[in-house]
Chains A and B, each alone.
Chain A
């Protein structure tokens, strides 16, 4: 694991490269190519814990669209990440494997990143109570539809596969939950980056916007909203640090739950501070709002994760502390 100074430096490099690409090429910038050039796959290979924090944080902060999530999941599922392999994600709001086997048939319904639009193959995971399989299918046999929804620039695609389950290979039963854990952390980092960006937009506006003869940042009602926002973002960062230092499905699930909740808190307060201008497409705020709305549903919405965590507490009658000093 790298130290905090190196991490900050790498975050700066990745973010700077993405910002450069976005500022010269606009929305058509190929952020995946930027990441490849920065050595993303090597970073992922050498230390996924650090790599996902650095790269997904930068994606969130810049509102860039990339498909690095496919590499994270492919590698967690024991496959060599490659640009022509997209991984089918669970449907919106849940985290069970997207595929199921019925007799000799594979049925899968889920989401995917923009990679699914051009990838040659899709990786589908199917699970039962005790077993898991992975099946690679040609994307030509799948129904791949671009999701417009609230965040048409986010690159999400809807996937439907129905075909023979031929070629299924057995997976370690915990592989899917490990992949979900890593996916949750990646998305939570991306949400954190977006939340910090929203806070900064609101903060800058509060200092600049004058009403009643003074900047609105002077009004305690505004200050306390922004303070509340910072509290939420810092708590999220701490849960992400805990998930990196004490990795496991539990700390990852909690980090994702905190991320979703934080995005709601931050977007609510930031939007209120930005008021009229934050309600228009002239201001960048709406992009972060919409992106976090879409991201919150990947690998389980906050409400579903909280419910699941609570059910486990009540089923076991045990409250694990998970992290120590």
Chain B
């Protein structure tokens, strides 16, 4: 049995001792290329030292132990601003998919490459006409020769959008339509696609903070071997849904650690008066409630092995707290975001603008409230 407090102490001592090697090489705020390079470099150092493997199963090159070890690592890196938590925590929504749904030898081959920073992967879910309504996706995969049971290859045609880091990625966990056009969640199949396959075109999208984090990805007669299917034929919805517990536990905890760090940055420079005290106090109270909720969620996941729709509450809290925090920055440092030059201002500006997406990505605030109303409050259908 691993004592989490001991593990945390050991981890932080190691990170302190290796701070120089891990610290970003770029000056803030840094470009997306800088952040990706920094993340891969940090992963590689941590992998060589054995930290990246903690909490992952041994059959994919891990060192075993509870998944909370991964959460602690990601949170420690986020709190120290060694990696961008939004990019780093993508591991949590990609590697488990391979572990749970890929042929074992494929998972054993590729997961260590993701953990060590040798590769980057992306997630091809959303489409131009399938955002909140993911089950309506249309990117089509057809078996070569027409028979899904005997085909050795599949051919993919269609388009994805909001694919984070697609232009840097070596592989993609891709959701495709394999059933009839109206089969919704019953006719979706997941594949693990090499991004250098002929027929894939990546067009980065510029976000409102100037970063090219997302991309459109076009698939034009892209051939995918049948043994790259993840899960069952037409079982892709289960693959997509299986990500939720990871996203809503580990990823959130890492994001929360980062938000505490950003509040720390704010209180270091905010004026010391009562108006500022009210504003930072309010942000802190919200962050604490969020942290308490997320802590309870992770304990429940560790004890029962599962979490579900009740994490829509965590999602609402994380989005609200994040926007409150950056609103606080804007209120207490007037002009910093809007007109100031310099590294600190550029970082706040980029972060503030990105925080506006918190109520949109990963299921909009409205979709979460719909889920809470229907599933948690049992208010029945809304039609």
**Which A positions have Cβ atoms within 8 angstroms of B?**
203, 206-207, 215, 217-220, 223-224, 226-228, 230-231, 234-236, 238-239, 241-242, 254, 257-258, 261, 303, 306-311, 313-315, 317-319, 321-325
Contact = CB atoms under 8 A, between A and B. Distances in A.
Could you say which of B5, B277, B381 has the most chain A C-beta atoms within 10 Å of its C-beta?
B277
A103 B194 CA distance: 83
B354 interface: no
B251 to A, nearest CB: 14
12 contacts: A223-B379, A224-B369, A227-B372, A228-B369, A230-B372, A234-B310, A235-B290, A241-B292, A242-B296, A306-B278, A311-B277, A315-B272
Given A207-B379, A223-B382, A325-B4, A310 B264 contact: no
B370 A309 contact: no
Contacts of B277: 307, 310-311, 313-314
Interface in B346-383: 366, 368-370, 372-374, 376-377, 379-383
Contact of B68 (A223, A235, A238, A325): A325
Given A318-B267, A319-B260, A309 B284 contact: yes
Contact of A310 (B276, B380, B382): B276
A258 B373 contact: no
A135 to B, nearest CB: 33
Interface in B252-287: 253, 257, 260, 263-264, 267-268, 270, 272, 274, 276-282, 284-285
Contact of A319 (B71, B263, B279, B368): B263
Contacts of A219: 382
Contacts of B247: none
B72 A309 contact: no
B280 A325 contact: no
B291 A234 contact: no
Given A254-B285, A254-B288, A314 B68 contact: no
Contact of B296 (A203, A241, A311): A241
Given A235-B290, A310-B277, A314-B276, 10 more contacts: A215-B380, A224-B366, A241-B292, A242-B291, A258-B288, A310-B274, A310-B280, A313-B281, A319-B263, A325-B299
Contacts of B260: 319, 321
B377 A306 contact: no
A324 B5 contact: yes
| Interface hub of B72, B288, B313 (most chain A Cβ within 10 A) | B288
B262 to A, nearest CB: 9
Interface of B: 4-5, 8, 68, 71-72, 253, 257, 260, 263-264, 267-268, 270, 272, 274, 276-282, 284-285, 288-293, 295-296, 298-299, 310, 313, 316-317, 366, 368-370, 372-374, 376-377, 379-383
Contact of A218 (B267, B278, B382): B382
Contacts of A258: 285, 288-289
B270 to A, nearest CB: 6
Contact of A236 (B264, B280, B289, B290): B289
A238 B267 contact: no
B147 to A, nearest CB: 45
B295 to A, nearest CB: 6
A239 B293 CA distance: 7
Contacts of B374: 223
A313 B289 contact: no
A259 B332 CA distance: 26
A231 B292 contact: no
Contacts of B272: 314-315
B130 to A, nearest CB: 21
Contacts of B280: 310, 313-314
Contacts of B292: 235, 238-239, 241-242, 323
Nearest to B265: A319
A307 B285 CA distance: 11
B282 A306 contact: yes
Contacts of B298: 325
B370 A223 contact: yes
Nearest to B282: A306
Contacts of B284: 309-310, 313, 319
Q: Taking each of B280, B281, B291, B372, which has the highest tally of chain A beta carbons within 10 Å of its own beta carbon?
A: B281
Contact of A308 (B68, B71, B281, B377): B281
Contacts of B285: 254, 257-258, 261, 306, 309
B282 A325 contact: no
Given A226-B377, A230-B372, A306-B285, A238 B293 contact: yes
B326 to A, nearest CB: 15
Contacts of B295: 238, 242, 323-325
Nearest to B383: A218
A231 B313 contact: yes
B281 A227 contact: no
B373 A238 contact: no
A228 B296 CA distance: 19
Contacts of A308: 281
Given A220-B370, A314-B270, A321-B260, A227 B279 contact: no
